[in-house]
Structure 1
């Protein structure tokens, strides 16, 4: 693995970084291209959440399957396992090969694997299809990050990140409401939404262009295995705060799609359509605060934005735990969405500040891996707490954990993160 990493670094990125940056910024991506990037990015948020309103009905349908309560939640989070595994690989692939053919293939796989859930009537087969959906999402999530880094620089890149998160959140809200309506017909129908990936594929083939790069012949490395291992360790340590924060924030956020449907249906006794509407409020808040990121960034450092985002998510969990009515739930979900909206852009901006052009594809691949690792691990953290203390108590406990971590990042003494 380490010799392969050395080969990629030598083969693809030995060209002058200044010249590379000049080439990228000279291409002037149009609005059509930006919309294509946003469309691809929407698949990464729709992939796991579009079927969230169907979870209670899906669990009831497969009730005869052993451990259906846990497996039904893995339907939502299993894609995160394959994203976690394949995102670093995607970073290496994008560093070595052209971007667009990989993205096109991933979009096709995303559509086929996602829509297959409409026809499958075996819980284990459904889990397999979700695993392959995650493989496709890994390449799409990493590809979007790499393309933004290729097409844009500096302040323009932060604006695109902000607008991208806004577009993703609005799209997520629309599809969550639609998923809730479709779930009223049958738990199978929301799977048909994945066919939209075919239309996205047709559009991006027209709208995107291949970023130009200057490959060079590889240099043969004579470093020992131990030296390469230390170099990889130092490389990961450089980005460790970014990766940890992304992992933990996503793990806490994923309480929403995995636990809130059951909170709404079993405790508040609301129909499936209300699940989609309430969860859409999370996406709308995420959209608004994504647009606000640049203004917030003008006054706060990256570490303080991270602290504020964690507190917002924690506040949302506290409200759910203490106030058991639908209006309070909507406000709580808006707090959680606001926190995630700030967090996602903040983490990407932080990574772009730390990573050179040569490090960016692999660094973003690992960031995507840690984000979805948090999503995958969420049920394994929260479900035991639910069984030991109860669903309501779980929200309160996780709120305290988030406030504690927010305090840690508020007083974080790492390198300056304001510039």
Structure 2
């Protein structure tokens, strides 16, 4: 198997794109969907919940999926997950019961938790060193671009009928044949049956996990609250609001493409420091600018920062996780990733009872700058420790 072939890389990227489309493809359908289920007493709330509902089940299932693929192999679950992805994702087109649609969204989340864990683990299995850095950056960039494509296409189709965007989830069936043709099971992927060997990752891996969750808690405030914030400063055109949110994804893709070159020069800690600093400046621009142009500057900076940090976290986990438990660790990474998205509104929205949108973004900007300083300080401390160790070894 030639892992450098375009067929293998394209298949991995196509499976990766299923993750981003699972959440946002039906965004434009929500207003008309709310009207369709307005007779239900809790209809509007449940419709809004349908957008983020998959994230909860992604977070729940990913760790289990990681353990399973370590034991039985990477690819045995993938085909099944892609089929049920289409079934659960398209539920809104076929079903008239909102609760059953939510059940379909839960099934979609379970399938994404499986496919996401498998594809990240396969990237770690197939690639090493520079090749891994390049592909991890490319993976996040393509996922970001895919997000723009799917949300735009979903908006276009929703103008005809709110149900039609749900059919886009059949894209997983189109990807299915390529997974059988081009992806192969890594020989070393099955967990050793020896019970006398306990294999663990370095403790620092938990710092990366929690940091991944924190990144998404902070970043997910943008799609959740920027539309409302723009309304408060006089931006009434929905198209401009959509452009602002989509631009964050675009700038994220740009910096992800550059990740490998940046990683050649900087440590993991330094990249996190830069990423948080860019996001901090971006949130400060949003908070203090009070204009659409300054919000766009904030979107640019925030997107650039997040686009660096996601592949940075992925590659760091790939570097830290032993091959024997790589699936489990990638499952944990996926869990913390989507748990951050799910709990972001739960954690941050209560602050709006005390602070205005501008004040909240400024408060978060301060937190982001503190996190940046913390990672730069960690890099300085670890570099100093390495130098001291080298000096002591010489003498």
Q: Distance in 2 between matches of 1:344 and 1:84?
A: 17
Per-residue deviation, 1:49 = 1.9
**Among 149, 156, 164, which residue is 1:181 paired with?**
156
State whether residues 261 and 275 of structure 1, in contact with CA within 8 Å, keep that contact through their aligned partners in structure 2.
yes
**Where does residue 359 of structure 1 map in the other structure?**
325
Aligned to 2:312: 346
RMSD between superposed Cα atoms in Å: 2.8
User: Is 1:404 matched with 2:381?
Assistant: no
Measured after TM superposition, the shift of residue 177 of structure 1 is: 2.1
2:335 aligned residue: 369
Query: Conserved in 2, the CA contact under 8 Å of 1:79 and 1:135?
Result: yes
Residue range with higher mean Cα deviation, 96-105 or 288-297: 96-105
Equivalence for 2:26: 51
1:294 aligns with 2:260: yes
Moved more, 385-394 or 134-143: 385-394
2:77 is paired with a residue whose SS is helix
CA distance in 1, matches of 2:22, 2:109: 8
The answer to whether the aligner puts 1:219 opposite 2:194 as a matched pair is: yes
Q: Is 1:158 aligned with 2:133?
A: yes
Whether the 8 Å CA contact 1:177–1:276 is kept in 2: the answer is no
Retained in 1: the 8 A contact 2:136–2:311?
yes
1:181–1:273 CA contact under 8 A, matched in 2: no
- Cα deviation, residue 213, structure 1: 3.1
Name the residue aligned to 2:354.
388
Report the counterpart of residue 54 of structure 2 in structure 1. 79
Tell me the CA shift for residue 365 of structure 1. Answer: 0.8
- Structure 1 residues 214 and 295: CA distance shift in structure 2, 3 A: closer
Whether the aligned pair in 1 keeps the contact of 2:73 and 2:190 (CA below 8 Å) is no
Cα distance in 2 for partners of 1:266, 1:143 equals 42
Contact 2:201 2:321 in 1 (8 A): no
Residues 147 and 117 of structure 1, relative CA distance in 2, 3 Å threshold: same
| Equivalent-residue separation in structure 2 for 1:181 and 1:217 (angstroms) | 50
When normalised by structure 1's length, the TM-score is 0.82
How far the C-alpha of 1:165 sits from its partner, in A, is 1.6
The offset of 1:215, in angstroms, is 5.3
Task: Give the drift of 1:381.
Answer: 1.3
3-state DSSP class of the match of 1:100?
coil
Alignment correspondent of 2:212: 246
- Please give the per-residue CA displacement for 1:369-391, whole angstroms capped at 9, x wherever unaligned: 10111011011012212233243
CA contact (8 A) 2:209 2:336 kept: yes
2:6 paired with 1:36: no
SS of residue paired to 1:412 = helix
2:75 counterpart residue number: 100
Are the counterparts in 2 of residues 170 and 283 from structure 1 also a CA contact under 8 Å? yes
What's the counterpart of residue 295 of structure 2? 329
Question: Equivalent of 2:344, from 371, 374, 378?
Answer: 378
Deviates more, 1:178-187 or 1:127-136: 178-187
Change (3 A) 1:239 1:70: farther
Name stretches of at least 5 consecutive residues in structure 1 with no aligned partner: 1-25, 224-230
After the TM superposition, which of the residue ranges 135-144 and 405-414 deviates more from structure 2? 405-414
8 Å contact from structure 1 (residues 180, 276) kept in 2: no
Alpha-carbon distance in structure 1 between the residues aligned to 2:135 and 2:5: 12
Q: Secondary structure at the match of 1:358?
A: helix
Query: Is the 8 Å Cα contact of residues 56 and 262 (structure 1) preserved in structure 2?
Result: no
Whether the 8 Å contact between 1:385 and 1:394 is mirrored in structure 2 is yes
Give the C-alpha shift of residue 412 in structure 1: 1.9
Helix, strand or coil for the counterpart of 2:375? helix
How many residues are aligned here? 384
Assess, with a 3 A threshold, how the Cα gap between structure 1 residues 66 and 332 changes in structure 2: closer, same or farther.
farther
